[in-house]
Amino acid sequence: MRCKALGVIVLLALAAVARPQDDAAKKDLKQMEGTWAVVLEEISGQKAPEESKKVDVKLTVKDGKYTVHFGDKQAATGTIKLDAGKTPRQIDAIAADGQFKDKAMPGIYDVKGDTMLVCFAQPGKERPTEFRTKEGSGHMLFSYKRIKP
């Protein structure tokens, strides 16, 4: 009987801890909704070349899903899973198509108003712990600005 009571207490404690984190993740996901333009791209310590800045790259987030467009062409889609209870806050972008289909890119994120910063690792690699990339890391850092409708 004591084991069952202890189990219930542990489950209630976990539920009490998880709910605020879930609420924070839902709030962050709602804040991410909209269309974003890439303003900074850095991979493995190297900023994107100038010619890549000429490509119109947009990220759209809606209902926990993302779509990436290069100009008028849809390039990638998938779902977003957030963990707002970690520091830094964690994001998994799970591709619905392409070479990483059904694989999660582990990352970290920060969203404040009309600015969003994300740093990702390749699927199967360790999640970044800071918003910067190092040579040979394979990490990808993106800064976005919200596009006003």
- Rounded to 5°, the CA angle 11-15-17 comes to 120
Whether the pLDDT of residue 9 is over 70: the answer is no
Cis peptide before 88 (omega within 30 of 0): yes
- Rounded Cα distance between 2 and 19, Å, is 26
How many domains are contained in the chain?
A: 1
State the chain's mean pLDDT as an integer.
85
Q: Hey, what are 79's tokens?
A: 């779902």
Using the structure block, give the residue that is written with the tokens 């910063």: 117
Tell me the H-state helices in 33-120.
50-53
Looking up residue 53, the CATH number of its domain turns out to be: 2.40.128.280
**Residue 2 — pLDDT band, cuts 50, 70, 90?**
very low
Whole domain around residue 6: which residue ranges?
2-146
- pLDDT tens digits for 55-108? 788 999 999 999 999 999 999 999 999 999 999 999 999 999 989 999 999 999
CA–CA gap between residue 91 and residue 108 (Å, rounded): 5
Higher pLDDT among residues 34 and 148, named by residue: 34
- Predicted structure pTM score: 0.82
